[in-house]
Amino acid sequence: MRLFSRRGTAPIGGLLGIETGPQGVALAVVQRDAGQAQPVLSRCEFLQGEVAAHAELLKQAVVAHGLAGMPVNFLLHPATYQMFLLEAPDVPANELRDAMRWRIKDLIREPLEEVVVDCFALPEDAYRGRTRMVYCAVLSKARMTEFAALIHQAGLKLASIDITEMAFRNLGLLAGAQATNLAVLRLRTSEGLICVQSGADVYMARRIEHGLRQAAGDQSGMTLEIQRSLDYYESQLGKGYISRVMLLPMKQDGERTFQALSSGLAVNLQRLDLRELFPGQAAAELDESLQAFCIGAVGAALRQEAS
């Protein structure tokens, strides 16, 4: 099974996005109907509980909401997979994944036969056409089997497995990334992630080492790290300036962090709010903290099938 979605056509019908984490299970249902201009967020919730309770929590939600048999795009929590940016070998596109397996062999601890590797190449105009680069995601087969069993036991159908970078790409598209350079920024307690896209193409995905815990007293280090990532995109990748940075919902201190970053970053910073992306729908009653728990699952539910 491939680990993440490519650009393509939107599936007709509903898709359930699920992300599990240390604090519980997030799920979101996005409906796409023929002739409908915008996707509809019909369900969005967070089931709080420890890892040992995830299976039962999910089973109960499936029964309670009539979700049995629904296709699922399962989103990997960032702590469950590794991500590498590597130079692309000179091979046909249909051979790229197999070629990259051998490239990552010496970068991981596990034997190759115990992991799943998937990759996507940066667009040809990245790095001004000098060097083709590839992002590779690595997941242990044991974890993939574990996640597949969780979905099956809940009475759902595992359609795909995705990574956070692609879920954020989907959110960026809905927020208006078509034909422009847009960055999606998530900040968490211990780390963060910034993804830059132009249309449906991801050009950069970088982990932010300065999390909110480190920035509690002084946010200058985190701000500087984010600004350097933006500058790197504009100077090295050759795609011009970034028109907007969308700050994803946060579990706490969202307004204070937004104000601090707004004054420190040389870019148009905006806050992404699911209530604005899906007006009058299931997101209407979601406060920022609940959005922060569910944002990945929503991005996963926005997946578009590869053509």
d(Cα 300, Cα 217) in Å, to the nearest integer?
Answer: 33
- Cβ–Cβ < 8 Å for 278, 299: no
pLDDT score for 7: 45
Strand blocks (E) in the chain? 8-9, 13-21, 24-32, 40-48, 71-75, 82-87, 115-121, 133-140, 157-162, 181-187, 192-198, 201-208, 244-247, 269-271, 305-306
pLDDT score for 1: 45
Partners of 198 in the beta sheet? 181, 201
pLDDT score for 177: 79
Strand blocks (E) in 171-257? 181-187, 192-198, 201-208, 244-247
- What dihedral angle (degrees, nearest 10) is formed by the CA atoms of 76, 78, 80, 81? 90
Domain assignments of the chain as residue spans, ordered by start: 1-78+139-175+272-307, 79-138, 177-271
pLDDT score for 168: 97
Partners of 29 in the beta sheet? 16, 43
For domain 177-271, the CATH class is alpha beta
Which amino acid is it at 225? E
The H-assigned helical ranges of 70-194 are: 96-103, 141-153, 164-174
pLDDT score for 8: 45
CA distances 218 to 159, 211, 214, 222, 263, Å, are 43, 11, 8, 8, 13
Q: Along the 307 residues of the chain, how does pLDDT read in single tens digits?
A: 456 554 444 455 799 999 999 999 999 999 988 667 689 999 999 999 999 999 999 999 999 999 999 999 999 999 999 999 999 988 888 899 999 999 999 999 999 999 999 999 999 888 887 888 999 999 999 999 999 999 999 999 999 999 999 999 999 999 987 878 999 999 998 899 999 999 999 999 999 998 888 777 678 889 999 999 999 998 888 778 899 999 999 998 899 999 999 999 999 999 999 999 999 888 888 999 999 999 999 999 999 865 4
Q: Please name the fold of domain 1-78+139-175+272-307.
A: Nucleotidyltransferase; domain 5 (3.30.420)
Partners of 33 in the beta sheet? none
CB atoms within 10 A of CB 258: 16
1-78+139-175+272-307 shares its CATH topology with 79-138? no
Residue among 114, 94, 115, 163 nearest 135 (CA): 163
Which amino acid is it at 197? Q
d(Cα 58, Cα 47) in Å, to the nearest integer?
Answer: 8
CA distances 301 to 39, 296, 304, Å, are 10, 9, 9
Partners of 26 in the beta sheet? 19, 46
Q: Please name the fold of domain 79-138.
A: Dna Ligase; domain 1 (3.30.1490)
Residue among 130, 134, 132 nearest 98 (CA): 134
